[in-house]
């Protein structure tokens, strides 16, 4: 059995596993099966979203796993239609209802949608949910430093987590430096390159896989962990789920971490949250 991922302490005190299960794109039936399997393998963090339309399946998978609620870490996110103080609270209640839970470990604003103009109000709503204890941690996703500046200035409350697209091909140095300065934990989405998967076929990755006797995906996941990042890789396959969690018995040498970061294709290769979002 693979080990359970170590945790990182978030700004508001919650302990979040450094590695968890991504669930996009899974439908309810697939999510129910995969979430239960993953927890059985040792996963404790599950990442979903209103937008994935699989929270009900995720919730059934959590229950089917038989693992106690307090030993699980559940993240969901809400869409821009809920960007408002009271609307964010309603989005949380609806998410909880779909998941069949009575609290969330982490609730994220999925995209800032700056053209919609209401993400500061959404953040104020999340601050209220944190204070009421309905959520243990609050955060953002796809927020740039300019968006983060505005919500922090408006409330004085720093997000626990900012979940952004990040891999050796999109290393997001500016965002990471900003997060580090403020104690925000960076969580990488599409950490192994998403469905296209280019990063896992990079010659440098293949060479390091050979050197460490690991798979290319294990090398890429280790790059995130050795760079101080947290990750939510997705797999629906039992063997790959086990493989992706089995990355806590080796570390990359610092030179190898740097050589993978040198694959960066720049900010333009990442989804632009000023232009994109649901």
Ligand X SMILES: NC(=O)C1=CN([C@@H]2O[C@H](COP(=O)(O)OP(=O)(O)OC[C@H]3O[C@@H](n4cnc5c(N)ncnc54)[C@H](OP(=O)(O)O)[C@@H]3O)[C@@H](O)[C@H]2O)C=CC1
Q: Which contacts (CB < 8 Å, 24+ apart) does range 183-186 have?
A: 183/11, 183/158, 184/11, 184/139, 184/148, 184/158, 184/159, 184/160, 185/8, 185/10, 185/11, 185/16, 185/160, 185/161, 185/230, 186/161, 186/162, 186/228, 186/229, 186/230
Interface with ligand X includes 207 (CB under 6 A)?
Answer: no
How far apart CA 225 and CA 31 sit, in angstroms, is 25
By CB under 6 A, name the one of 217, 242, 260, 270 that touches ligand X: 217
Is 110 part of any known ligand binding site?
Answer: yes
- Residues whose CB is less than 8 angstroms from the CB of residue 60 and which lie 6 or more positions away in sequence, other chains included: 28, 32, 35, 100
Q: What is the DSSP letter of 260?
A: H
Contact mark string toward ligand X, 114..153, x via CB under 6 A: ---------------------------xx-----------
- Report the residue closest to ligand X, judged by CB: 22
Whether 212 is catalytic:
no
Which is catalytic among the residues 43, 52, 119, 178? 52
Residue with tokens 């993953």: 38
Interface with ligand X includes 170 (CB under 6 A)?
Answer: no
Interface with ligand X includes 244 (CB under 6 A)?
Answer: yes
Interface with ligand X includes 23 (CB under 6 A)?
Answer: yes
Nearer to ligand X, 17 or 233 (CB): 233
| Interaction residues for ligand X, span 63-102 (CB under 6 A) | none
Q: How far is the CB of 278 from ligand X (least distance, A)?
A: 8
How far apart CA 50 and CA 97 sit, in angstroms, is 11
Residues carrying an active site annotation: 52
Residue numbers of the site for ligand X (CB under 6 A)? 22-24, 47, 110, 141-142, 163, 189-195, 197, 217, 232-237, 240, 243-244
């Amino acid at each position: 059995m693979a080990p359970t991922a170590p945790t990182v302490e978030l700004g508001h005190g919650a302990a979040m596993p450094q590695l968890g299960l991504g669930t996009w794109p899974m439908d309810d039936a697939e999510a129910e099966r995969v979430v239960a399997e993953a927890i059985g393998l040792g996963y404790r963090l599950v990442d979903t979203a209103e937008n994935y339309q699989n929270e009900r399946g995720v919730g059934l998978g959590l229950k089917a796993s038989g693992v106690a609620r307090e030993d699980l870490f559940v993240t969901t996110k809400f869409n821009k239609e809920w960007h408002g103080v009271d609307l964010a609270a309603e989005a949380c209640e609806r998410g909880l209802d779909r998941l069949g839970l009575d609290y969330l470990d982490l609730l994220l604003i999925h995209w800032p949608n700056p053209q919609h103009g209401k993400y500061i109000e959404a953040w104020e709503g999340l601050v209220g949910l944190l204070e009421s204890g309905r959520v243990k941690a609050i955060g953002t996703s796809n927020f740039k430093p300019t968006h983060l500046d505005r919500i922090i200035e408006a409330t004085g409350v720093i997000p626990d987590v900012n979940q952004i697209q990040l891999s050796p091909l999109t290393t997001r140095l500016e965002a990471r430096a900003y997060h580090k300065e403020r104690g925000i934990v960076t969580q990488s989405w599409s950490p192994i390159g998403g469905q296209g998967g280019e990063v896992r076929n990079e010659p440098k990755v293949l060479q390091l896989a050979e050197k460490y006797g690991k798979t290319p995906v294990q090398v890429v996941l280790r790059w995130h962990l050795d760079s101080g990042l947290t990750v939510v890789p997705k797999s629906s396959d039992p063997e790959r789920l086990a493989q992706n969690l089995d990355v806590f018995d080796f570390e990359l040498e610092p030179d190898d971490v740097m050589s993978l970061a040198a694959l960066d294709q720049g900010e333009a290769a990442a989804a632009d949250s000023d232009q994109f979002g649901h």
